[in-house]
Amino acid sequence: MQISKRIKTLSRSQTVEITNLSRCLKNEGIDVISLSVGEPDFTTPEEIIHYANTMAKQGNTKYVATDGLPELKLKIQEKMQRDNALSYDLDEIFVGSGAKQVLYNIFMALLDPGDEVVVPNPFWVTYTEQVKLAEGVPVIAHTTAENEYKLTPKILDQFMTEKTKILVLNSPNNPTGSVYTREELKALADYLDDKDIIVIADEIYEVLVYDGEHISIASMSEKMKKKTIVINGVSKSHAMTGWRVGYACGDREVISAITKLQSQLVSSVSTPAQYAAVAAYDMERTFLDEYNQLFRKRRDNAYKKMVELPYVECIKPQGAFYLFPYFKDTAKKCGFNTVDDFLKALLSEKHVALVPGSAFGYPNNLRLSYAVDEDTLNEAMNRLKIFINEKLENIRK
């Protein structure tokens, strides 16, 4: 059977692949510790599950509006005003099956063949592949650890062409954990002020900011708001990855376009899942504060253990739940040609799964998710330390 060229050229998600491999090894009885997946380790809060179950039992299991359950859109409207100082009409809000599907709809609705999308590097694995699926051209704007892997107007200017249509901005960032300050976003907004560029602001890790505060580039000015599409959801904020509820807020013409596409894809998001998201946004703020403090503690523990490893360099993440250390020197000192080779051997010999930086456009780094309990993280880091020391000792012999 002949498979289409677009699928043949599509890369698999390495984060998903490594997670699936880890599960297969566990099913074989191997004690694998996976720090590869971007998923909170605890279950969805009981009150969210209870509300979704109640609404389903009351008969709320039918199709709803393609662009989202009205009750949920009202909650999103309130949340954006309260937390981000951004006002959106209901026809400027769209609900999709997770932020990933929302992004896909947007790229498909906005891009024509040859349109360019600037993606700062390191980048989440899915951005570039979705752009290619939409027949756009991903343009990788390289950033550096010296600037905490953040895009600046000076860097951006090097990659802008007459074909540039979209800029993707992710803060807090996956995989680096970097968070843009108000001043940094203002500088980018000023640079973009006279340019006909759409900004996709992926803010899915909004509640996980440990140093400073989360600011949306859409809040820089009314003009910036009009050219920005904000992406968010409840997956990371309320431990609801499997419920698949994400959303976009932005220009009503764009929202109308992605709604039209949605009508031919999935009709509407799972109705009980949308009611679950309603319950999530009804929860007391204390839940998010406690959630943030838990991950801050995990961040501090993971970072301390990482920088104690030999030859490792790592910025301290300000948000999300990842470390993105420079690991090339460590891998080389241990006798490996690449970080990818190091990680394959680590999984094979010590049964610890991490994601190679090559998945994010940065082959000399790796990504570690600290969205696990402290005991699990400590055991994984201990195995990693032993693995490195064993390899270094073998080299010395």
Contacts of 328 (CB under 8 A, 6+ apart): 339, 364, 365
Q: Say whether pLDDT at 15 is over 90.
A: no
User: Going along the chain, which residue ranges are E strands?
Assistant: 33-34, 93-96, 116-121, 137-142, 164-170, 198-202, 228-233, 246-249, 322-323, 352-353, 355-356, 366-369
Task: Calculate mean pLDDT across residues 165-194.
Answer: 98
Task: Calculate mean pLDDT across residues 196-215.
Answer: 97
- pLDDT tens, residue by residue, 124-158: 999 999 999 999 999 999 999 999 999 999 999 99
- Token pair recorded at residue 115: 């349109």
Using pLDDT thresholds of 50, 70 and 90, give the confidence band for residue 163: very high
SS3 155: helix
CATH class label, 62-283: alpha beta
SS3 357: helix
Give the CATH architecture of domain 5-43+286-391. Answer: Alpha-Beta Complex (3.90)
Among 258, 192, 261, which residue's Cα sits nearest to residue 225?
192
Q: How far apart are CA 243 and CA 235, in angstroms?
A: 7
Contact between 87 and 81 (Cβ < 8 Å): yes
Exposed / middle / buried, residue 355 (Cβ in 10 Å: 0-12, 13-18, 19+): buried
- pLDDT tens, residue by residue, 249-270: 999 999 999 999 999 999 999 9
- pTM for the model stands at 0.94
Q: How far apart are CA 292 and CA 26, in angstroms?
A: 30
DSSP 8-class letter at 397 = -
| The pLDDT of residue 14 | 67
Provide the angle, in degrees to the nearest 10, between the axes of the packed helices 70-84 and 271-282.
30
DSSP 8-class letter at 118 = E
Straight-line distance from the first to the last Cα atom of the chain, in angstroms, rounded to the nearest whole number: 54
Q: How far apart are CA 52 and CA 142, in angstroms?
A: 43
Contact between 351 and 30 (Cβ < 8 Å): yes
| The pLDDT of residue 116 | 98
Q: How far apart are CA 35 and CA 371, in angstroms?
A: 8
Q: Say whether pLDDT at 27 is over 80.
A: no
- pLDDT tens, residue by residue, 276-295: 999 999 998 899 999 999 99
**DSSP, residue by residue, 159-217:** T--TTEEEEEEESS-TTT-----HHHHHHHHHHHTTS--EEEEE-TTTT-B-SS----G
| The pLDDT of residue 13 | 67
Domain spans, the chain? 5-43+286-391, 62-283
- pLDDT tens, residue by residue, 361-394: 999 999 999 999 999 999 999 999 999 999 999 8
- pLDDT tens, residue by residue, 33-65: 999 888 899 899 999 999 999 999 999 999 999
| The pLDDT of residue 31 | 85
| The pLDDT of residue 249 | 98
Partners of 290 in the β-ladder: none
Q: Tell me how crowded residue 265 is: count the other CB atoms within 10 A of its CB.
A: 15
Torsion 376-377-382-383 (CA) sign = positive
Q: Percentage of residues in the chain with pLDDT exceeding 70?
A: 97
281-294: b (≥16 Cβ within 10 Å) or e: beeeeebbeebbee
DSSP 8-class letter at 383 = H
- Token pair recorded at residue 110: 């906005």
For 249-303, the three-class secondary structure string (H helix, E strand, C coil) is ECCHHHHHHHHHHHHCCCCCCCHHHHHHHHHHHHCCHHHHHHHHHHHHHHHHHHH
Average pLDDT along the chain? 94
- The residue behind tokens 């860097």 is 155
- pLDDT tens, residue by residue, 93-103: 999 999 999 99
Q: How far apart are CA 261 and CA 250, in angstroms?
A: 16
Range of lowest pLDDT (6-10, 96-100, 102-106) = 6-10
Instruction: Give CA separation, 169 vs 130, 159, 342, 369, in Å.
Output: 15, 14, 30, 21
Q: How far apart are CA 266 and CA 73, in angstroms?
A: 18
